[in-house]
Amino acid sequence: MNNDYLFGLIGGCLIGLGSVMAFALTRKIPGISGIFGRLFARGTTDRPWRLLFLAGLILGAGITFALSSHAAEFQTAGRSLLFFAIGGLLVGLGTRVGGGCTSGHGVCGVGRAQSDSIVATMTFVVFGILTASLIRWFAIAT
């Protein structure tokens, strides 16, 4: 087994373990859009763990980029910051329309066998494939 698969396996196990631990400790689904969205909501009383969770994501990504020679390949992939900003806005819109993000639905909801999360995750996958195919087709056509 090559290291890329091993790293993916370890990462997936850690994501699953982290999700189970977060749910066990807070009784809340650790979906990123919900954690971030409720961070700024009026009346939120649990900001500290939300900030810690988000800081851990940012710090973890920073450590990965600092330690992994492969991580640099994914930084911009030749795309402009405007491309990523538009993508980020579309992802944010999608999380609102879909009632959550891929981490909330795909990791936690599917793990709890919630039918709406299974449908949402299948939708994410189908539209992800379509989007990637369209981008590749346009890149080849131009």
Structure confidence by residue, pLDDT tens digits, 104-115: 888 888 888 889
If one counts the domains in the chain, the total is 1
Q: Which domain holds residue 142?
A: 76-142
Is 15 inside any structural domain?
no
Q: Is residue 21 part of a domain?
A: no
126 occurs within a structural domain: yes
Q: pLDDT tens digit string along 34-93? A: 888 888 888 888 889 889 888 988 898 788 778 877 766 666 566 777 887 888 888 878
Indicate the length of the chain as a whole number.
142
Whether 48 maps to a domain, the answer reads no
